[in-house]
Structure 1
Amino acid sequence: MLGGSPCQNLTITVADREEHFTGLAGDKSKLFFEYVRALKTVKPRYFLYENVESMKEKDKETITENLGVEPIMIDSGLLSAQERKRYYWTNIPNVKQPNERHQVLADILEEKVDEKYYYNLNYDFYGLHKRVAAKLDLYNYDILQRVYSPHFKAPTLTACRGGHKQKKVIHNDRVRKLTPLEYERLQTVPEGYTKGVADSHRYNMLGDGWTVDVIAHILSYADFSTSKGVPEAAI
């Protein structure tokens, strides 16, 4: 059984908005307890639950107590060109950290990109030797103005509900947003997997999703060769 309940009330990105930073008591993140209910009902042989690394310690402890196993923190940056620290709670035994692939944005960028992804705005250039290589003249929000160097990893992808929230990069001496295909590559999703819906939906699905190769790495430790019952930690 695989799952990950909404992180909107858990993530540090809403720490400055106390009405949202309500942890597992929040309207969205409390769905974790539905995962627990389903787990006790289904009693699968193996389970995997994922959520953000930036949650409060008390919420981490509550999840651990309910699932009966300690989490392992894996950064997607080990297997992709995106930094994405996540906790994974699983009763699959002996899961280790994956070997690093040493990828950066330059390794996943499309060479030919439609003009619609480019910005024709002024920007302050700091140099490609810095992770935040430039600041785009866009609104007043620092996180929307950040333009990343292709020589570093992308920051954590998020859903893009609202304008200009896609991660940005300097490419061929111009500033542009990352494309949906590049989001797929950063999440190690098969290329074109989200094709067929509007770009906005592709960004949201991928930002809310999992890094596939991390999940595959964890599942590689599972043994399905016998028919043992569910371990006690799962119930």
Structure 2
Amino acid sequence: MKVLSLFDGISCGMLALQRAGIPVECYDAFEIDKYAVTVSKRNFPVIVHHGNVYDGDFTQFKGYDLLLGGSPCTYWSIAKKDREIDCDGEGFRLFQEYVRALEESGCQYFLYENNYSVHQNIKDEITRVLGVEPIMINSALVSAQNRKRCYWTNIPFTSFPKDKGILLKDVLESGVTWQDKSYCMTARYPGAVLFNTLERKQRTMVAEPVPINTYCNGETMPMGAAQRGRYVDGEKTEQHIEIREDGKSNCLTTVQKDSLVCSPVRIGQYGKGGQGQRIYSVVGKSVTLSANGGGQGAKTGLYKIDLPDGDYIIRKLTPIEAERLQTLPDNYTAGISNTQRYKCIGNGWTVDVIAHILGGLHDV
């Protein structure tokens, strides 16, 4: 089968074709995210990449069999303030490139995907243009993630995927969860903080038992600190408590906030105790927010939560756990930074859903 893929991302379409057992003669992809292309090339060196859809001459793909694509939902998503609700914006212009590819290539079969939350006005117009009704499938049937997506396709398939009964706890490398299913994995997951999960019902986080009493021979200790004003966006200033880590106080001055004591703050660590591996008590002052850094507690450190059955930290999902939510192989996105891995995974497809749909090609 000859395949043309628009907005290809990390080539979940190719992986889905393999899982569905569909032989692929050639696979041509259009994608502008350099990190996604890096992942695609590492996993599938045979894919031919062409860049931006706006620059595409799709007549060169005459005779191809299948067109895949899901134009970016950034402009249409309900999570976006002032999202587009009609067909005059950039979101629909990108969809029109998909339509142009379908017309110019003459592909016999097509599969188009987008967010279930897209405004009904836009969904109705997509339906009118493609000539088929959307089918909503929740990825929760085949993975540990709630992810409702609409699929427009002329590939004949007569049933929904069977519920595999996969729960969030089943995909964790370690730790425990208080949810059966993850919230939808999105490209914004790198910025996950606890209130996203508890209050906004998004960006799932999990609990990790704390190896307590691992700092200073099991004893918490006072920490020297200072309250500093730091510029934000080059104009306004914000006050931060900045902790010393050498056991010393700051220089005594006439300004009281220059030399403070916080106790307790840090109570443990993972690994070598880097910024993202330090454990802090919720009693005491916050660690200074770091603009960079990695680890389970990137940017802020890990905060201990006291629960009846023990002490836990709340952490983000690991990249491997995020891959499992999208039914990707472990370390499929390795080779780029974790931040970019999360973004690429969130922008991708749930592979087993796509494989189920593409399986209908066996019957044509």
**TM bin (shorter chain):** 0.7 to 0.9
2:123 is equivalent to residue 60 of structure 1: yes
Map 1:9-48 to 2 at 5 A: 9-14=75-80, 17-18=81-82, 20-48=83-111
| Aligned mates of 2:86, 2:71 — CA distance in 1 | 12
Distance in 2, Cα, partners of 1:44 & 1:111: 45
Structure 1 Cα separation of the partners of residues 189 and 353 of structure 2: 25
Equivalent position to 2:206, from 169, 178, 194? 169
Q: Does 1:70 align with 2:133?
A: yes
- Measured in 2, the distance between the counterparts of 1:168 and 1:188 equals 18
Higher relative contact order (CA 8 A, sep 6+): 1
- RMSD between superposed Cα atoms in Å: 2.0
- Match of residue 210 from structure 1: 349
Query: In the TM superposition, what whole-angstrom CA distance separates every residue of 1:131-150 from its partner, at most 9, and x where no partner exists?
Result: xxxxxxxxxxxxxxxxx62x
- Deviation string for 1:104-159 (max 9, x for gaps)? 110000028xxxxxxxxxxxxxxx9xxxxxxxxxxxxxxxxxxx62x410000100
Query: Structure 1's 42 and 224: CA in aligned 2 closer, same or farther, altered over 3 A?
Result: farther
Q: Following superposition of structure 1 onto structure 2, how do residues 1-235 of structure 1 map, counting pairs within 5 Å?
A: 1-14=67-80, 17-18=81-82, 20-111=83-174, 149=178, 151-160=179-188, 163-164=191-192, 167-172=204-209, 173-223=312-362
How does the TM-score come out when normalised to structure 1? 0.74
Evaluate the alpha carbon distance shift between residue 101 and residue 224 of structure 1 in structure 2; reply closer, same or farther with a 3 A threshold: closer
- The count of residues paired between Structure 1 and Structure 2 equals 187
| CA deviation after TM superposition for structure 1 residue 162, in Å | 6.4
Shift of 1:43: 1.3
Paired residues of 1:67 and 1:89 also in contact (CA < 8 A):
yes
Q: What SS does structure 1 have at the residue aligned with 2:360?
A: coil
Unaligned runs of 5+ in 1: 113-127, 129-147, 226-235
Q: Percent identity?
A: 47
Equivalent position SS for 1:216: helix
What secondary structure, in the 3-state scheme, does the structure 2 residue paired with 1:13 have?
coil
CA separation of 1:171 and 1:29: change in aligned 2, threshold 3 A: farther
Q: What is the CA-CA distance between 1:217 and the residue it aligns to?
A: 0.4
* Distance (whole Å) between structure 1 residues aligned to residue 174 and residue 168 of structure 2: 12
C-alpha distance after superposition, 1:155-196 (max 9, x if no partner): 001002763365311233321000110010000011111001
Off by >4 Å, runs of 4+ in structure 1 = none
Partner secondary structure for residue 73 of structure 2 = coil
More strand by share: 2
CA contact (8 A) 1:83 1:154 kept: yes
Q: Structure 2: which 5+ residue stretches go unaligned?
A: 1-66, 194-202, 210-311
Task: Report the residue type matching 1:80 in the other structure.
Answer: S
Give the Cα–Cα distance (whole angstroms) in 2 for the partners of residues 198 and 96 of structure 1. 38
| 1:9-49 alpha-carbon deviations (Å, 9 max, x no partner) | 211112xx22x334543324530000000001111121100
